[in-house]
Amino acid sequence: MFPVSRCRLGVPTAPSAVLAVALLSSLSRCSHLEPKDPAVSALSSYFGTKTRYEDANPGLLRGPEAPRRDPELLEENCTPVQLVALIRHGTRYPTAKQIRKLRQLHGLLQARAPGEQRTDAAGGRDLGAALATWPLWYADWMDGQLVEKGRQDMRQLAQRLASLFPGLFSRENYGRLQLITSSKHRCVESGAAFLQGLWQHHHPGLLPPDVADMECEPPRINDKLMRFFDHCEKFLTEVERNDTALYHVEAFKTGPEMQNILRKVAATLQVPVDNLNADLIQVAFFTCSFDLAIKDVKSPWCDVFDTDDAKVLEYLNDLKQYWKRGYGYTINSRSSCILFQDIFQQLDKAVDQQKRSQPVSSPVILEFGHAETLLPLLSLMGYFKDKEPLTAYNYKEQMHRKFRSGHIVPYASNLIFVLYHCKNAKTPKEEFRVQMLLNEKVLPSAHSQETVSLYDDLKNHYKDILQSCLTNEECQLPKVNNTSDEL
Ligand SMILES: *[C@@H]1O[C@H](CO)[C@@H](O)[C@H](O)[C@H]1NC(C)=O
Ligand SMILES: *[C@@H]1O[C@H](CO)[C@@H](O)[C@H](O)[C@H]1NC(C)=O
């Protein structure tokens, strides 16, 4: 349904290849001088949507480029014929709003009464002073842009997927790659970095050329699909612009769990508790996550919190995702049905072409979006649903909840639909099967818990969603009766 963007990932001309090799070897010599262990933090599994991909997939800390074949992946008698991947952008800078709050907090620390030698209650070093001098290296222009680590997330994901599905990502198929992206810079850039990773897969050891030089069409921007939440009137009115829709998030910010952390942090940093609020505490926690994800350093901001605090702050982050993107309101997930439907139209088309023995016109479809793209879709499909809603008042009861955004949508998270054409050895019957992968692990079907579904069964299970979405009424607000105004 969308025009195909074409790509030619050819071999570079000789001179630039030589230059690339020279550059690369000098680069590796440099990095050889300072071997660096990947930084880890006891808090890093509580960062919610700011979680590093490798913290959600610890196996990657050792071999980020090695393909990790999930033993549940389908092989026998089945050939993958199409792959549709929804990919969240890689690691990014804080937004301008977060940077402003961080600056405010930093200012508070610097404004503490000078002179006296301070020690904390245990007689240790003064953390507030350490933080006041810790560099604040985030500037307004960075505003949510993709960082170098985020490009690396994408290149490595591309390399692993290409190794996992060599037939689909073959050189011959590159001309048929279809790339769709949200208009946000970090997503467009993620698409470009992914292409560079694919190029590297076929030219190991060489520096990839600019995407412009790959003779690729730029990724095709489609916000109706990748930012459906901006185009859904009902969602905008009932949730996004509704001051009371996030009631539980606000109530938790002033609740006992957060107040406890506020008092503790005020004492640790030796600032008046009245100068702090939940938003500032949250930005301090995020700064620990940003320093780790972006700079690969363990920041003194991490020393402000213990794991119990981290669990509370993770819950605060999850509460917001739950009420704004997840099961909190039906429209959150329903607004994604246009994307869900588009995925099934792509799969339908491939099935149809395969049945007619035609080549599949789009064997690989790569779609770059946001955590806000993936969470509603996964909710629409019935995943990570807890029995009870997440509220401001049941933090303890929800300790073992399924809805943990850091496990579901870390940076570079991905939901992949793989369509297989299967031939039964005994009978001449042909079948189409679908496997879903979330963050490169097989995601059992929400209705049967099977690791693979017959395509027709899957479509049948979701037929209500697919049909109701066709009528295009999901996002319309209830009609005002204005019959009397007519004529
Ligand atoms: C805003 O959210 C509240 C709480 O869910 C709801 O009762 C109210 O109807 C919403 N307002 C609008 C304009 O949709
Ligand atoms: C709209 O209002 C008219 C007249 O008041 C009424 O007859 C009609 O049933 C209403 N339609 C709906 C859809 O409520």
Q: Is the pLDDT of residue 37 over 80?
A: no
SS3 47: coil
Which whole-number Å values give the CA distances from 52 to 152, 157, 281, 348, in the listed order?
A: 12, 13, 20, 34
Q: 89, 106, 248, 421: which one is catalytic? A: 89
Instruction: Give residue 136's pLDDT band: very low, low, confident or very high (50, 70, 90).
Output: confident
377 contacts 339 by C-beta, under 8 angstroms: yes
For the whole model, what pTM was predicted?
Answer: 0.88
Q: What's the farthest any 2 CA atoms get from each other in the chain? A: 86
Sole residue written with tokens 């050895």: 425
380: amino acid identity, one letter? L
Ligand number with the minimum distance to the CA of 328: 1
Q: What is the pLDDT of residue 113?
A: 60
Is CATH 3.40.120.10 what the domain over 41-474 is classified as, yes or no? Answer: no
Q: What is the pLDDT of residues 69-128, one digit of tens each?
A: 787 888 778 999 999 999 999 999 999 999 999 999 999 888 886 545 555 554 456 888
Whether residue 81 contacts residue 422, with contact meaning beta carbons closer than 8 Å, is answered with: no
Per-residue confidence (pLDDT) for residue 447, from 0 to 100? 85
pLDDT per residue as tens digits for the range 404-415? 999 999 999 999
Residues with C-beta less than 6 Å from any ligand 2 atom: 481, 483-484
Measured by CA distance, the residue closest to atom 2 of ligand 1 is 245
Residues 310-367 pLDDT 10s: 999 999 999 999 999 999 999 999 999 999 999 999 999 999 999 999 999 999 999 9
In the reported structure, the alpha carbon of residue 375 is separated from the centroid of ligand 1 by a whole-number distance in angstroms of 21
Name the residue of 483, 485, 487 to mutate for ligand 2: max ligand atoms within 8 A of Cβ: 483
Cα 74 to middle of ligand 2, angstroms? 55
pLDDT at residue number 28: 38
Question: What pLDDT shows up at residue 427?
Answer: 67
Atom of ligand 2 nearest to the CA of 481: 1
Highest mean pLDDT among 11-20, 264-273, 476-485: 264-273
CA distance from start to end of the chain: 40
Residue nearest to atom 10 of ligand 1 (CA): 238
Q: How far is the CA of 291 from the centre of ligand 2 (A)?
A: 59
Task: Give SS3 for 434.
Answer: strand
Across 346-413, where does the E strand assignment appear?
364-369
Residue 35 — very low, low, confident or very high, per pLDDT cuts 50/70/90? very low
- Residue 345 contacts residue 1 (beta carbons within 8 Å): yes
Q: How distant, in Å, are the alpha carbons of 136, 309, 344, 380, 423 from that of 78?
A: 53, 48, 20, 28, 6
Atom nearest to 247 CA in ligand 1: 4
Which ligand has the nearest atom to the CA of 481? 2
Ligand lying closest to the C-alpha of residue 248: 1
Instruction: For residue range 443-459, list pLDDT tens digits in order.
Output: 999 888 899 999 999 99
Which letter does DSSP use for residue 484 in this model? Answer: G
**Ligand 2 atom 3: the closest Cα is on which residue?**
483
pLDDT at 388 over 80: yes
Q: What is the pLDDT of residues 272-302, one digit of tens each?
A: 999 999 999 999 999 999 999 999 888 899 9
How does the average pLDDT of the chain come out, rounded?
A: 87
Q: Is the pLDDT of residue 142 over 80?
A: yes
pLDDT for 213 equals 74
With vertex at residue 99, the alpha carbon angle to CA 89 and CA 34, rounded to the nearest 5 degrees, is 65
Cα(250)–Cα(338) distance, integer angstroms: 31
Closest CA to ligand 1's atom 5? 245
Distance (Å) from CA 471 to ligand 2 centroid:
22
Sign of CA dihedral 101, 106, 110, 113: positive
Is the CB of residue 56 less than 8 Å from the CB of residue 439?
A: yes
pLDDT higher than threshold 80 for residue 254: yes
Least reliable range by pLDDT among 30-44, 95-109, 166-180:
30-44
**Pick from 142-156, 393-407, 467-481: least confident:** 467-481
Integer Cα distance of 21 and 26 in angstroms: 9
CA angle in degrees (0–180, nearest 5) for 181-184-189: 70
Measure 481 CA to ligand 2 centroid, in angstroms: 6
Q: How far apart are CA 457 and CA 378, in angstroms?
A: 18
Q: Is 400 a catalytic residue?
A: no
Please give the average per-residue pLDDT across 426-446, as a whole number.
90
Q: What is the DSSP letter of 184?
A: S
**What is the rounded distance in angstroms from the CA atom of residue 150 to the CA atom of residue 154?**
6
- The pLDDT of residue 39 is above 80: no
Q: In the prediction, which pLDDT does 424 show?
A: 74
Higher-confidence residue of 404 and 471: namely 404
pLDDT digits (tens, 9 = 90+) for 184-243: 999 999 999 999 999 999 888 888 888 777 766 667 999 999 999 999 999 999 999 999
Ligand number with the minimum distance to the CA of 477:
1
Q: Is the pLDDT of residue 482 over 70?
A: no
Cα(480) to centroid(ligand 2), Å:
10
